[in-house]
């Protein structure tokens, strides 16, 4: 799995192949915290809404209109009042362990890789990425188990009229916490949940083995329109 990873140091070896970029921004360590408002130079189109800002929340989700502290995952659809992208919504505490990082890319090899990946997963669109926003939770711990680790990532890819979300998974420890993976919209007009991840006693190895695009450890979704279909619907 290619992970669009942003860090200054190379992590311990894992089954994931990291694609390195530099100079990410780090979010302050806290329990149930969030990033400040992050301006997006290229607006991200999310099911008909165009957003020029985003928040990276500690508990494994992204929101657009404000920070969100929620650490208790709910099964999608929520039928709520916010748009949310949840690569790994659970109770996370990185006060002692792990880093949460983000960066928007407007040029370079990250855009080239994103363009290649999207055209592979969604053929026929002649897609070209113009912006890639990467949020990475690197070796963060579950609350209150400070010895645990989970590494995962959300990649928001913009190309004008088209937009996509990739969710990547590295090494993830087993946990008894509930986990929600997927996305939801205001009033749940559009939503998608990866059902075998909601519940307790999640085995971290499963995250590195499953996929909807035949790339173990990765899920890909088109998010500019109402369809959530991908080239491959099977699990690997």
Taking only the tens of pLDDT, the chain with its 236 residues reads: 555 554 433 333 344 444 455 678 999 898 899 999 999 999 999 999 999 999 999 999 999 999 999 999 999 999 999 999 999 999 999 999 999 999 999 999 899 999 999 999 999 999 999 999 999 999 999 999 999 999 999 999 999 899 999 999 988 998 888 899 999 999 999 999 986 666 566 667 788 888 899 888 899 999 998 654 343 344 44
* CA 192 to chain CA mean position, Å: 14
Q: Which ranges constitute the DSSP H helices of the chain?
A: 109-121, 204-209
CA distances from 156 to 32, 71, 108, 143 (A): 22, 22, 16, 27
Task: Please provide the distance, in angstroms rounded to a whole number, between the alpha carbons at the two ends of the chain.
Answer: 12
8 Å CB contact between 1 and 16? yes
pTM above 0.85, yes or no: yes
120: tokens are 């592979």
8 Å CB contact between 152 and 94? no
What angle is formed at CA 211 by the lines to CA 206 and CA 212, rounded to 5 degrees?
Answer: 150
The residues, any chain, with a CB within 8 Å of residue 12's CB and separated by 6 or more, are none
| Tally of CB atoms within 10 A around 30 | 13
């Amino acid at each position: 799995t290619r992970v669009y990873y942003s860090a200054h140091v190379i992590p311990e070896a894992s089954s994931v192949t990291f694609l390195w970029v530099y100079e990410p921004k780090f979010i302050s360590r806290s329990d149930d915290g969030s990033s400040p408002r992050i301006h997006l130079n290229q607006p991200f189109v999310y099911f008909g809404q165009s957003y020029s800002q985003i928040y990276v929340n500690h508990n494994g989700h992204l929101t657009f209109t404000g920070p969100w502290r929620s650490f208790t995952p709910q099964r999608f659809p929520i039928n709520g009042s916010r748009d949310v992208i949840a690569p790994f919504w659970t109770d996370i505490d990185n006060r002692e362990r792990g880093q949460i990082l983000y960066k928007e890319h407007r040029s370079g090899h990250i855009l080239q890789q994103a363009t290649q990946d999207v055209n592979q997963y969604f053929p026929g669109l002649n897609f070209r990425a113009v912006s890639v926003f990467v949020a990475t939770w690197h070796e963060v711990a579950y609350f209150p188990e400070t010895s645990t680790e989970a590494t995962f990532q959300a990649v928001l890819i913009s190309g004008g009229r088209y937009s996509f979300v990739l969710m990547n998974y590295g090494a993830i420890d087993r946990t008894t916490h509930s986990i929600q993976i997927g996305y939801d919209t205001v009033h749940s007009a559009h939503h998608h949940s990866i059902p075998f991840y909601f519940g307790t006693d999640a085995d971290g190895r499963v995250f590195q083995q499953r996929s909807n695009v035949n790339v173990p450890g990765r899920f890909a979704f088109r998010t500019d329109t109402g369809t959530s279909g991908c080239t491959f619907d099977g699990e690997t």
